[in-house]
C-alpha cells in the first residue's frame, strides 16, 4: 500500500535511500545537503547513519560498507566532493559490490558556498555515472535507480542535486523499504586493491562499463524522457531547469535527462533530428552542450545563457521574446549577513578588532567576521585552510610578519581538516597563533553534532574529543582555554600569545546562542538617564541594538539573547541587567 505526502527534496532523497535498502550512510554537514542525513536518522532502527569528521572519511566509510556487500551512501555538498575526490576517483575503478551512491549538492547562485562548482564535470573526470532528478518525486525514485545502476554496472554513482531542488517541496509516493540480500564477501585483490598493476587492468573495464551504460541509457525512459510538442524549438535539459522550461515554454519539445553522464547519444541524435532549433538549457558549465557539439550536432547553449548563477524561467522568456507576458516579481530588500544577537564570536571579534589583528579565516558562521563592523577576517579559502594559509604566510615572510595575524577556525572545522594543518604547522617548525572558536556544535549548517560534542547523529552519547588535549597531543605546548565573553582576559591572552615564537592555540569557548534548550537568564535594557550616546556599545554590531531619534541606545528585547557584551562594554553603566522575558531558545 503506497501513501502520498509532501517532502523537501532532501527528505525525498533520504526516503529513496531508505526504500532502496541502504544499510550504511556517512556524511559531513554542508548546506544544501545537510538535511539528507538528518531525515535519514529517523530510520535509525533499520539502518546506520553518522556524521563523519569530513567528506573524505564519509566516502571511505561508504566504500568500505559497499565492499562488504551492503548498499551504502555518502552525502556532501559540492566543495565537500573536492575533499572526497581522492577516494572517489579510485572507487570508480573498484566499483561496487553493494550499491554505492555519492549524493552531492551543488549550489548555483552561491547561496551558502565559497564557489560555484559543477559536480557533473567531476563525475566525468572520475568516470562515474551522474544522475540528476528534477523534483522531489524523482529525487526519491531516482535514488532507487541509482543503487540499481551502481550494482548492475559495478560502479559508484553520483546523485547530483542543487539548492533549489534540495530545499523545494513536492508530492512523493511512499513505498515499502526493500533491502537486497547481502552479497557474500569474496577476497578479490584484483578488484579491491588498486596498486598500479591491478588499476591498469581495471581502467579498460571502467571504460567498457561506461560505454555499456551510455548505449543502454537511450532505452532508460524512466530516467531520460522525450516530450514532443511544437517541434520549432527543442530543449535538452536536466534537473531543476526542467521546471523552468515547462513554466516558460510549455509548448516546446523537451528531452529531459535524468542520466547526465554518460549521455544517451542515440536518444539525443533522434531528438535533434525531430526539432528545427535545438537549445541546451543547463546551469553552470556547458557539460551537455560540449558533448553534443562534439558529436557534430548543431545546437545553441551558453551563447544564450550565462555560465554563472542559478537559472529561472525569466531567462527563457527573455531569450525567446516572451518576457513581457508576466509582471516581473518584486525584489526582496537586501539583508546583509551578520552574526546572530548574543553570538559568542562577536565578543572575541570585538577584541581582535580593537587590537587591529588580521584573521586568516575558515568556513563557518565566524566567516561573517569579515564584514562591517567587525572587519577581522582577511581571507577564507576552504575548510581547514586558515591554519595552513597562516603557516604559508609565516614561511614566506617570516615570524615577525604574522605577529598581528591569527588563524581563526571553528570546532567542527578544526576536526574536519584543521587538525591536519595544525600538525603540519608544528611538524615543520612553524610559529603563529591559532584561535579555535568552540561553540559546541556545527552551527552554520544547523547545529549538527561532531566528534567534540559527545553525541552521534542517531542521538547516542559517545566519546567527546577534548580539543585542548588533541592540540597538545600533536605537539602544541601553549594551549589556553577561555570563555569567549571574558573580553578583558582575552585582550591579555591575545597580546601574550601573538608574541610567542612558536605555535600556540587559544580555544575561546561558549555555546552557540541558538542551541535548543539554552536558557536565557538575563536580558539588558538602557537607562536613558545615564546613556551618553557615545555608541561604544554599538561597535560590535549586535543587531539587537539600535539608536532612537536623539541618539540614545535602545535594546530590542525580542532579539536580545542576554550575552551581556554591551553591558560589559558600556563605560557609564548605562546598560542594566534585567530578568529575561525569554525562557529559552
Higher pLDDT, 269 or 515: 269
pLDDT band of residue 217 (cuts 50, 70, 90) is very high
Mean pLDDT of 553-573: 92
pLDDT for residue 583 is more than 70: no
Mean pLDDT of 140-162: 98
Mean pLDDT of 524-529: 93
Cα(162)–Cα(31) distance, integer angstroms? 10
pLDDT for residue 326 is more than 70: no
Q: Return the percentage of the chain with pLDDT > 90, whole number.
A: 90
pLDDT at 324: 40
pLDDT for residue 483 is more than 80: yes
Mean pLDDT of 427-455: 94
pLDDT at 522: 85
Burial 515-551 (b: 16+ CB within 10 A, else e): eeeeebebbbbbeeeebeeeeebebbbbebbeeeeee
Could you tell me the sign of the dihedral formed by the alpha carbons of 7, 11, 12, 15, in that order?
negative
pLDDT band of residue 584 (cuts 50, 70, 90) is low
Cα(245)–Cα(248) distance, integer angstroms? 5
pLDDT for residue 325 is more than 60: no
Looking up cell 581522492, which residue turns up? 86
CB count within 10 Å of CB 460 equals: 9
Cα(16)–Cα(259) distance, integer angstroms? 17
pLDDT at 328: 54
Q: Which three cell numbers stand for residue 549?
A: 531619534
pLDDT band of residue 585 (cuts 50, 70, 90) is low
Mean pLDDT of 498-509: 97
Mean pLDDT of 528-554: 93
pLDDT digits (tens, 9 = 90+) for 95-148: 999 999 999 999 999 988 999 999 999 999 999 999 999 999 999 999 999 999
Higher pLDDT, 514 or 388: 388
pLDDT at 514: 85
Looking up cell 563605560, which residue turns up? 571
Higher pLDDT, 504 or 324: 504
Mean pLDDT of 26-44: 96
The answer to whether 446 and 416 have CB atoms below 8 angstroms apart is: no
pLDDT at 221: 94
pLDDT band of residue 336 (cuts 50, 70, 90) is confident
Which phi and psi (to 5°) does residue 553 adopt?
-70, 140
Mean pLDDT of 367-392: 93
The answer to whether 271 and 236 have CB atoms below 8 angstroms apart is: yes
pLDDT band of residue 323 (cuts 50, 70, 90) is very low
End-to-end CA distance of the chain, in Å?
Answer: 40
pLDDT at 330: 66
Amino acid at each position: 500500500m503506497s501513501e502520498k505526502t509532501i517532502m523537501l527534496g532532501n527528505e525525498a532523497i533520504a526516503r529513496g535511500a531508505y526504500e532502496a535498502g541502504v544499510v550504511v550512510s556517512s556524511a559531513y554537514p554542508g548546506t544544501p545537503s545537510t538535511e539528507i542525513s538528518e531525515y535519514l536518522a529517523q530510520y535509525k532502527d533499520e539502518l546506520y547513519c553518522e556524521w563523519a569528521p569530513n567528506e573524505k572519511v564519509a566516502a571511505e566509510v561508504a566504500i568500505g560498507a559497499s565492499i562488504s556487500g551492503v548498499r551504502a551512501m555518502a552525502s556532501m555538498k559540492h566543495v565537500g566532493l573536492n575533499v572526497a575526490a581522492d577516494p572517489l576517483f579510485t572507487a570508480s575503478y573498484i566499483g561496487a559490490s553493494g550499491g554505492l551512491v555519492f549524493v552531492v549538492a551543488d549550489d548555483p547562485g552561491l547561496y551558502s558556498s565559497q564557489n560555484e562548482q559543477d559536480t557533473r564535470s567531476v563525475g566525468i573526470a572520475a568516470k562515474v555515472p551522474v544522475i540528476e532528478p528534477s523534483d522531489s518525486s524523482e529525487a526519491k525514485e531516482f535514488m532507487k535507480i541509482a543503487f540499481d545502476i551502481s550494482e548492475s554496472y559495478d560502479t559508484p554513482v553520483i546523485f547530483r542535486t542543487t539548492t533549489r531542488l534540495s530545499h523545494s517541496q513536492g508530492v512523493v509516493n511512499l513505498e515499502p523499504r526493500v533491502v537486497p540480500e547481502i552479497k557474500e564477501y569474496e577476497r578479490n585483490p584484483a578488484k579491491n586493491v588498486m596498486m598500479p598493476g591491478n588499476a591498469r587492468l581495471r581502467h579498460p573495464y571502467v571504460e567498457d562499463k561506461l560505454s555499456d551504460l551510455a548505449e543502454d541509457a537511450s532505452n532508460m525512459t524512466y530516467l531520460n524522457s522525450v516530450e514532443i510538442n511544437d517541434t520549432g524549438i527543442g530543449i535538452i535539459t536536466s534537473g531543476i531547469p526542467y521546471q523552468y522550461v515547462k513554466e516558460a515554454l510549455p509548448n516546446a519539445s523537451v528531452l529531459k535527462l535524468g542520466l547526465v553522464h554518460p549521455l544517451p547519444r542515440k536518444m539525443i541524435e533522434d531528438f535533434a533530428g525531430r526539432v528545427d532549433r535545438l537549445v541546451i538549457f543547463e546551469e553552470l558549465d556547458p557539460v551537455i552542450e560540449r558533448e553534443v557539439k562534439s558529436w557534430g550536432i548543431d545546437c545553441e547553449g551558453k551563447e544564450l545563457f550565462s555560465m554563472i548563477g542559478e537559472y529561472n524561467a525569466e531567462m527563457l522568456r527573455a531569450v525567446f521574446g516572451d518576457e513581457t507576458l508576466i509582471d516581473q516579481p518584486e525584489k526582496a530588500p537586501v539583508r546583509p549577513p551578520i552574526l546572530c544577537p548574543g553570538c559568542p564570536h562577536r565578543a572575541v571579534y570585538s577584541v581582535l578588532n580593537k587590537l587591529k589583528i588580521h584573521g586568516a579565516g575558515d568556513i563557518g558562521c565566524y566567516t561573517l567576521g569579515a564584514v562591517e563592523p567587525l572587519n577581522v577576517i582577511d581571507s577564507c579559502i576552504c575548510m581547514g585552510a586558515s591554519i595552513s594559509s597562516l603557516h604559508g604566510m609565516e614561511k614566506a615572510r617570516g615570524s615577525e610578519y604574522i605577529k598581528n595575524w591569527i588563524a581563526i577556525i571553528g570546532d567542527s572545522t578544526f576536526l574536519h581538516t584543521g587538525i591536519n594543518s595544525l600538525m603540519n604547522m608544528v611538524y615543520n617548525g612553524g610559529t603563529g597563533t591559532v584561535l579555535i572558536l568552540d561553540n559546541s556544535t556545527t552551527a552554520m549548517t544547523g547545529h549538527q553534532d561532531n566528534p567534540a560534542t559527545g553525541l552521534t547523529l542517531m542521538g547516542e552519547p559517545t566519546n567527546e574529543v577534548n580539543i585542548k588535549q588533541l592540540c597538545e597531543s600533536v605537539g602544541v605546548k601553549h594551549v589556553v582555554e577561555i570563555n569567549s565573553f571574558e573580553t578583558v582576559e582575552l585582550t591579555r591572552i591575545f597580546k601574550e600569545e601573538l608574541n610567542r615564537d612558536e605555535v600556540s592555540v587559544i580555544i575561546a569557548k561558549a555555546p552557540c546562542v541558538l542551541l535548543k534548550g539554552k536558557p536565557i537568564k538575563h536580558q539588558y535594557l538602557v537607562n536613558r538617564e545615564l546613556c551618553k550616546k557615545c555608541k561604544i556599545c554599538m561597535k560590535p554590531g549586535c543587531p539587537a541594538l539600535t539608536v532612537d531619534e536623539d541618539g540614545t541606545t535602545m535594546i530590542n528585547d525580542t532579539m536580545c539573547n542576554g550575552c551581556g557584551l554591551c553591558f560589559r562594554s558600556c563605560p557609564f553603566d548605562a546598560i542594566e541587567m534585567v530578568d529575561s522575558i525569554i525562557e529559552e531558545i
